A and B are shown apart, each in its own frame.
Chain A
Amino acid sequence: MSGSYGEEDFDVVANYVGNNENGNIDIFVGEDNNNIFDVVYCAIEREISKSILYFNSMRDEYTTVLKLYLRNKESGAFLIVELFNLPYLNITTSRADSDVDVNAALCWIERTFEPVNITETETTTRSANSSINKTATYTFNSFGYEVKDYVEYKLFWDFRDCSRGGSTTGNAGFELLRRYRTCKDYPNNNSSTYSSLFLYCPEFELYTGQNMA
């Protein structure tokens, strides 16, 4: 796809990566042969009543859109291209990319912008359990709409008493439970299995009481 804006030309070649969870988005990864823009997002989307659009007023008139979002490598300015009412494309290319690669390509907002809000909540109580579940939520602003990325994880511990002359075992740790991604207003790009969040740098200090002997 070639075009120009002002005095800047783009010449984008994109390769098919795969489609999203509900099958309405075919995602591509591309490059600008002129090396002026980064290709931030390139996709063909169907049922666009469920899609986040920059040109919002087109939502009710058409059902398909080709999105090409470019960012100038020097200025950082965005060039938003949305072409509506595309003919149906029968993509027969068998993709070799993994679901992770596909989802990573779909998460352009998370890749491009910082979150506008970060929260962390406990979804289970600690009082009667030897573990707690936590959910971290990163909220992003996508053309005025909230996209939320979630990661749920468990902190578990199992401490047991040990009497003199006896022995005992125990454990403690982290476990990742779930990752998912939502936009409640326009759910075309939702994922029940993927978000851009993951856990890193877990660490423990595990110790006995003093003078246990």
Chain B
Amino acid sequence: MTEICTSSVTNGSSINITNPSVSFSLSLAGLSVSVGRGITFDYGGSHISNTTATIHDNSDGNYARAVKTALDSSYTLKNVGNKFYVSYTIGEYSGQKGLSNPTLYFNVYIGNELDVSTQSTYQKDMTQIIT
């Protein structure tokens, strides 16, 4: 159950930390943001979440859960307090040792707080029964 957790944040320069002893920890990689330059821009229109999200399909059988998400390029963080974030819950419904079919859950919430009219969240339940 013990995993090595390596987190990295890349934005121009690369930074790495290593936490050598954690369990069920999460890593963050490829956290990047671009700095753009512009004068006027409009959010425009209603929307649901303005994100794209790709879920790891576990095709390699390593039971890792992963989500890759990005804010739509037409949306920007330009006002103080604007956010783009991911929150998650992770755990087991039945994690007792010896159970044959433990159920893992990993719920991801992707949200943005760009201004009052463009706050939104997106939820993906990645619950999986391990067989």
> Which A residues are within 8 Å of any B CB, using their own CB?
100-101, 104, 107, 110-111, 115, 118, 120, 126, 132, 134, 136, 138, 149, 151, 153, 155-157, 159-179, 193, 196-213
Contacts and interface: CB of A to CB of B under 8 A. Distances in A.
Contacts of B97: 164
B4 to A, nearest CB: 7
A152 B111 CA distance: 20
Given A159-B25, A170-B88, A205-B31, 8 more contacts: A157-B31, A159-B27, A173-B84, A200-B34, A201-B34, A201-B36, A209-B64, A210-B63
Contact of A171 (B23, B65, B88): B88
A176 B36 CA distance: 13
B105 to A, nearest CB: 8
17 contacts: A118-B35, A149-B37, A155-B11, A159-B22, A164-B95, A165-B92, A168-B24, A171-B87, A173-B83, A174-B77, A174-B83, A176-B79, A202-B33, A208-B65, A208-B66, A210-B62, A211-B64
A7 B48 CA distance: 55
Contacts of A136: 35
Contacts of A165: 91-92, 94-96
B39 A107 contact: yes
Among all A-B residue pairs, the 5 with the closest Cβ atoms: A167-B91, A173-B85, A209-B3, A207-B66, A162-B24
A212 B32 contact: no
B96 A175 contact: no
Contacts of A156: 85
Nearest to A130: B7
How many B residues touch the partner, as a band? 35 or more
Contacts of B70: 201-204
B88 A206 contact: yes
Contacts of B22: 159, 161
Contacts of A169: 87-90
B93 to A, nearest CB: 9
A210 B68 contact: no
B66 A161 contact: no
B52 to A, nearest CB: 9
A177 B80 contact: yes
A27 to B, nearest CB: 13
B9 A132 contact: yes
B71 A163 contact: no
Interface string B47-61: 000000000100000
A199 B77 contact: yes
B63 A162 contact: no
